[in-house]
């Protein structure tokens, strides 16, 4: 009996998962995959197509190699690849992920007609004047007065928040939710740092900053070096 070294097949409720060794050569892997799938008594037959997920680990597959594997699997026992999962990402994807998780600190006043936009979180040390706009793919933290427009989670992140030392915005936006000129209950509370977030009813709510530790515990994920 031949001992298979590079291919492991696991049946799941959703179909088959093929774990492919990421250390052998591509040609060796493809040959063994062809032989393995040709053993009908191990894979199983049937008249309907079986979805297959390929897990390739840290192997980088070119688009041509991916198509070769899809064609190879497609010819065997009514199998069809629905997903190829790799732990490898391109430099462009890595750079984009890094940008989206960075906090950009800017010290300035955003005046009327000016727009400041960052891909990740924004920490602004200064004010946003009426007519000024700040946008971020993540959260917005303003150490100053927000009297203009703030749009957090502008790429669709509805977990993003907006916080300001003095919350008097002309417009708040989080993801695709909009809130124009929110009301405040009293002048005294305006001296307390506040935050805005999307609640369960998909409405933007303004509350004390302290509520964030319960609503968005992930914001403190770096505390204590974690």
Domain of 154, CATH number, reads: 2.160.20.70
Residue 41 belongs to a domain: yes
Alpha-carbon Rg of the chain, whole angstroms? 26
Amino acid 80: pLDDT: 86
Same domain for 115 and 221:
yes
Which residues are within 8 A (CB) of 4 and not within 5 positions of it... i.e. 6 or more apart? 32, 36
Matching residue, tokens 């600190």: 105
Question: The tokens 């993540």 sit on which residue?
Answer: 138
Domain boundary among 57, 85, 113: 85
Do the domain assignments include residue 78? yes
Residues 1-30, buried b or exposed e (16+ Cβ, 10 A)? eeeeebbeeeeeeebbbbbbbbeeeeeebb
**Within-domain flag for 51:** yes
C-alpha 41/C-alpha 189 separation (Å) is 73
Alpha carbon 166 to its chain's center: 30
Element housing 124 (H / E): strand 121-125
Check residue 40 and give its pLDDT: 56
Q: What is the pLDDT of residue 119?
A: 92
CA pseudo-torsion sign 149, 154, 156, 121 = negative
User: 30 and 53 in one domain?
Assistant: yes
- Whether residues 52 and 136 share a domain: the answer is no
Question: What distance in Å separates the CA atoms of residue 32 and residue 168, rounded to the nearest whole number?
Answer: 65
Tell me, yes or no, whether 43 and 125 share the same domain. Answer: no
Here the CATH number for the domain that contains residue 75 is 3.30.70
Is residue 123 located within the same domain as residue 212? yes
CA distance 77 to 52: 11
**Domain residues for 163?**
96-225
Do 69 and 102 share a domain, yes or no? no
30, 53, 85 — which closes off a domain? Answer: 85
Overall number of domains in the chain? 2
Residue 119 counted as domain residue? yes
User: Are 102 and 156 part of one and the same domain?
Assistant: yes
Task: For residues 104 and 141, give the distance between their C-alpha atoms in angstroms, rounded to a whole number.
Answer: 10
Burial of 123 (0-12, 13-18, 19+ CB in 10 A): middle
Query: How many CA atoms lie within 13 Å of 88's alpha carbon, on the beta-carbon side?
Result: 11
Do 101 and 208 fall into the same domain?
A: yes
Q: Kindly state whether residue 75 falls inside one of the protein's structural domains.
A: yes
Same domain, 57 and 151: no
Last residue of a domain, one of 85, 104, 133: 85
pTM: 0.60
Per residue of the chain (226 residues), give pLDDT as tens.
445 578 888 888 888 898 999 989 999 999 998 888 887 544 555 556 788 999 999 898 888 999 999 998 888 767 888 889 888 877 787 777 777 778 999 999 999 999 999 999 999 999 999 999 999 999 999 999 999 999 999 999 999 999 999 999 999 999 999 987 655 444 444 567 899 999 999 999 999 988 888 888 877 654 444 4
- Is 212 part of any domain? yes
């Amino acid at each position: 009996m031949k001992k298979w070294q590079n291919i492991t097949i696991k049946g799941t409720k959703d179909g088959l998962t093929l774990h492919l060794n990421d250390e052998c050569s591509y040609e060796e892997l493809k040959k063994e995959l062809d032989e393995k799938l040709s053993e009908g008594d191990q894979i199983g037959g049937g008249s309907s197509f079986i979805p297959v997920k390929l897990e390739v680990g840290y192997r980088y597959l070119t688009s041509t190699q991916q198509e070769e594997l899809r064609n190879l699997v497609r010819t065997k026992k009514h199998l069809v690849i629905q997903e190829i999962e790799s732990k490898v990402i391109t430099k462009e994807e890595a750079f984009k992920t890094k940008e989206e998780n960075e906090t950009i600190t800017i010290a300035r006043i955003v005046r009327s007609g000016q727009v400041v936009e960052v891909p990740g979180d924004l920490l602004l040390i200064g004010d946003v004047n009426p007519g000024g706009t700040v946008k971020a793919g993540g959260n917005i933290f303003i150490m100053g007065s927000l009297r203009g427009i703030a749009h957090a989670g502008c790429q669709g992140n509805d977990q993003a928040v907006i916080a300001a030392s003095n919350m008097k915005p002309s417009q708040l936006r989080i993801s695709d939710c909009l809130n124009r000129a929110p009301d405040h209950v009293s002048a005294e509370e305006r001296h307390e740092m506040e935050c805005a977030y999307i609640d369960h009813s998909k409405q933007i709510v303004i509350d004390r900053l302290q509520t964030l530790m319960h609503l968005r515990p992930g914001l403190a994920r770096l505390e204590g070096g974690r």
